[in-house]
Structure 1
Amino acid sequence: MLLELHPQNPNPRNLKQVVECLKNGGVIIYPTDTVYGMGCDIFQHKAVERICRIKDLDPRKAQFSFICHDLSHLSDYTKSVDTPIFRILKRALPGPYTFILPASREVPKIIKTRKDTVGIRVPDNVICQSIVRDLGNPLMSTSLPIDYYIEEYTDPEIIHEKFGHLVDIVIDGGVGGMQFSTVIDCTSGVPELVREGLGSWEAVA
């Protein structure tokens, strides 16, 4: 199903449909402030396993990130964050960054990495934030089952044509991007650049 949501003012009825789909173990493709991503409710294990099958990934080796509504989720899913790191997060988010942090016990085992870490995202995208707010917990997020993004994968109608049969809902939230988020590892207490993407490293370093 291709479901349109207005980028600035998503229709509450359509939003409810997306949230109900996620709560029932559905998988969606949705816009972020970077590329279109694929995700599910972090507590729906069968949905996580389904995404792993779609992408041919071993859940124990996969590196998924969490889409959070804001930093209030931080204390639930990460261990205590030092003040200097928290300041960096506050400065950078919402924005096109993924911060790798030590995972708390609340993170479902199926999506914890072997290093016991979790990647936290708070995209600057109204649709994304509205879905997570109404769901009440983070979305597990990963890229589409492709090697790299090209211009056609910024168009939700083409995304639906290519991948709609693999998921329950493809959200049309307008044209997406082609650049990934900037990934910053904060597990040592000192931020380290893992991958430079759309977010400026200099702006937060």
Structure 2
Amino acid sequence: MLLHLHPDDPQPRNLRTVAATLSKGGVIIYPTDTIYGLGCDIYQPKAVERIARIKGVDPQKAQLSFICYDLSDLSKYTKSISTPIYRMLKHYLPGPYTFILPASKEVPKILKSKKDTIGLRIPNNNIARAIIKELGHPILSASLPGEMVEEYTDPELMIRKFDKLVDLVVDGGIGGMVPSTIVDCTGDQPVVIRQGAGAFEMQED
């Protein structure tokens, strides 16, 4: 099913439909501030496994990430972070970044990497954040499978390609083609491990 949500002011009724789909273990395709992605309720392990199958990866090796509503929401899913890292997150978020951080015990086991880390995002996108707010907790943020990024900008094309694999495609308009910048914050210094849509510079203390 293709469901349109207004990019600036998502319709409450349609948001409720999306949240209900996620609560029942559904898988959606939804817009972010970068590319469209696959999403599910992070507390539905079978849905996480479904997304891993769509991507053709083992969930334990997939290094999956998820999106949070805001910084106070994000802070529940990472162990105590230092003041410089918190300042850096505050500077860059919401925005087109994924930060790899130590996972707290709130992170479902299926989503933790072997190193006990998790990728966290707060996209600068009203639809994505409104879905999280309606659902009440974060949703998975996974890239669509394959290399044909240009096919993943138009919801009409995505519903044709993934109609049998997902429960809902959220149409928030044409999406971007460049993924988020990934910054690993688990070492002594933050390290960019994928340069994407967001420019990243070390913050001076």
Compute the TM-score of the two structures, normalised by the length of structure 1. 0.96
Q: Which moved more, 1:132-141 or 1:195-204?
A: 195-204
More moved, 74-83 vs 13-22: 74-83
Give structure 1 regions of 4+ aligned residues with deviation exceeding 3 angstroms.
Answer: none
For residues 146 and 13 of structure 1, what CA distance do their matches in structure 2 show? Answer: 33
Give, in angstroms, the shift of residue 31 of structure 1: 0.2
C-alpha distance in 1 between matches for 2:21 and 2:170: 12
Q: Offset at 1:85?
A: 0.5
Letter of the structure 1 residue corresponding to residue 149 of structure 2: Y
Paired residue type of 1:94: P
Distance in 1 between residues matched to 2:90 and 2:129, nearest whole Å: 16
Q: Aligned-pair distance for 1:111?
A: 1.0
Partner of residue 133, structure 1: 133
1:108 paired residue number: 108
Structure 2's unaligned 5+ residue stretches are none
The residue that corresponds to 2:75 in the other structure is 75
Q: Look up the SS of the partner of 2:182 in the other structure.
A: strand
Aligned to 2:13: 13
The answer for unaligned runs of 5 or more in structure 1 is none
1:108-164 per-position Cα deviation (integer Å, ceiling 9, x unaligned): 1111110110001000000000001111111011001122512x3211111111112
Q: Alignment partner of 2:89: what SS?
A: helix
TM-score, scaled relative to structure 2: 0.96
The percentage of aligned residue pairs carrying the same residue is 61
Whole-Å Cα distance in 1 between the matches of residues 102 and 133 of structure 2?
A: 23
Instruction: Find the aligned partners of 2:37 and 2:152 in 1 and give their Cα distance.
Output: 10
Which residue does the alignment assign to 2:183?
184
Task: Show the 5 A alignment for 1:26-65.
Answer: 26-65=26-65
Counterparts of 1:139-158 in structure 2, within 5 Å, are: 139-150=139-150, 152-158=151-157
Does the residue aligned with 1:101 lie in a helix, a strand or coil? strand
Structure 2: distance between partners of 1:153 and 1:61: 24
